[in-house]
Amino acid sequence: MSSDDEDLEVIRKKRLAQLQSQQAQAEQQEAMKEQADQQKQAVMRQILTPEARDRLARIKIAKPEFVEEIEQQLIMLAQSGQLSGQVTDQMLVQILERIMPEKREINIKRI
């Protein structure tokens, strides 16, 4: 029986070490994600006026995946030097109109 107890204890220790390792990796990934998000927000503060940031924040509530795409495009434009100065609210509206997919009109006809 003592051999079984020792084997069980070894298995427990290995499993505990594995779980601790997984938890440490998850914490590290979360920290990296948070740091990247902070860097992205700092860049967005530099390239967008406060009004444009507010508009983007409101859109993010409705369509978060869409805003993520727009933020990436704005950051790429800024890094490549294609943006001259800050993006104003009006400029952001124009960018959004070009990027947003066309809305389909739904007409209901009663017979």
All residues at 6 or more sequence positions from 66 whose CB lies less than 8 Å from its CB, including other chains? 59, 100
pLDDT digits (tens, 9 = 90+) for 44-75: 899 999 999 999 999 999 888 888 888 888 88
C-beta of residue 46 within 8 angstroms of C-beta of residue 57: no
pLDDT digits (tens, 9 = 90+) for 69-105: 888 888 888 888 888 788 899 988 888 888 776 666 7
Residue 69's DSSP bridge partners are none
Q: Quote the distance between the C-alpha of residue 43 and its chain's center.
A: 14
Amino acid, res. 11: I
pLDDT for 29 equals 94
- What is d(CA 78, CA 82) in angstroms, rounded to the nearest whole number? 6
Q: Which domains does the chain have, with CATH numbers?
A: 2-99 (1.10.8.140)
Say whether pTM exceeds 0.85.
Answer: no
- Reading the block at residue 18, the tokens are 């594995």
